[in-house]
Amino acid sequence: MVRINGLSKVFKMHILKGKTIEGFKDVTCSVKPGQALGIKGKSGKGKSSVLKCIYRTYMPSRGAIEYDSKSYGVIDLARANEHEIINIRKSEISFITQFLHIIPRVTAIDVVAEPLLGSGVGVDEARERAAGVLTELGIPKALFDAFPSTFSGGEKQRINIARSVIKAPRLLLMDEPTASLDKKSTMTVVELLKGLKAKGTTMIGAFHDMWVMEQISDSIYEMDGGL
């Protein structure tokens, strides 16, 4: 489903007169359809940067990310054009980032329902499905119509997870999805991810929590190059 080959990222720091910082070097790994790949490695080894390159928040410096896309067939995400990336993000790949990007004055339920509206689902059905995922993640009903800006760290993260999984993406990227959660919420998220995987979602995730990684992953890639 995804084959990463010789992927590297070097950051050019314009404010530091073009000085370069190595993000990560020569990453080669792959994941089969319906399986989950865990990425581990010490802080600063480049786990988040690899995920951001797959989602193309970052443009890789070298190497290839071959993704077997539904719309385009096998496509190299390191070279795909902006239009292709936007389309793929909209309909195939979702990213649970480390923190929720707050959208001002949008309620929790609408934050979660929004990706469905973009793909033609009606408002009522979208909100109903959003309520289902929020309930599954243990968010109290009283918070559905509140604004996530005032939520606790763990609540924000569960909203973030709900928003990323509501469409049951073809490929799910995750950056420390359970980092700010307690044991109970972590277990709920693990169950939700297992359920998604059983329905066919392929996953690539960076984890500090080895227990979570082992619960979800079929294979593990260790980042140990660089610094």
Ligand X SMILES: Nc1ncnc2c1ncn2[C@@H]1O[C@H](COP(=O)(O)OP(=O)(O)OP(=O)(O)O)[C@@H](O)[C@H]1O
By CB under 6 A, residue 38 contacts ligand X: no
CA–CA separation, 182 and 178 (whole Å): 8
Ranges of H-type helices in the chain: 47-55, 82-91, 108-117, 123-136, 153-165, 183-198, 210-216
Tell whether residue 48 is a contact of ligand X (CB under 6 A): yes
Contact between 23 and ligand X by CB under 6 A: the answer reads yes
Interaction with ligand X in 89-128: which residues (CB under 6 A)? none
Q: Pick the closer one to ligand X by CB: 23 or 115.
A: 23
Q: Determine which residue in the list 47, 156, 163, 167 makes contact with ligand X, applying CB under 6 A.
A: 47
Query: Which one among 7, 38, 46, 148 touches ligand X, defined by CB under 6 A?
Result: 46
x-or-dash pattern for Mg ion, window 25-64, by CB under 5 A? ----------------------xx----------------
Which stretch, 30-38, 44-52, 139-147, 156-164, contacts ligand X (CB under 6 A)?
44-52
For 138, phi then psi, to 5°, come to 75, 25
Please tell me the distance from the alpha carbon of residue 222 to that of residue 147, in angstroms, as a whole number.
Answer: 38
The CB density around residue 133, as the number of other CB atoms within 10 Å, is 20
Separation CA 58–CA 181 (nearest Å) = 27
What strands lie across the sheet with 73-76, from one edge to the other?
19-31, 2-13, 62-69, 73-76
Q: Which of 19, 26, 28, 44 binds ligand X (CB under 6 A)?
A: 44
Contacts to ligand X by CB under 6 A: 11, 21, 23, 41, 43-49
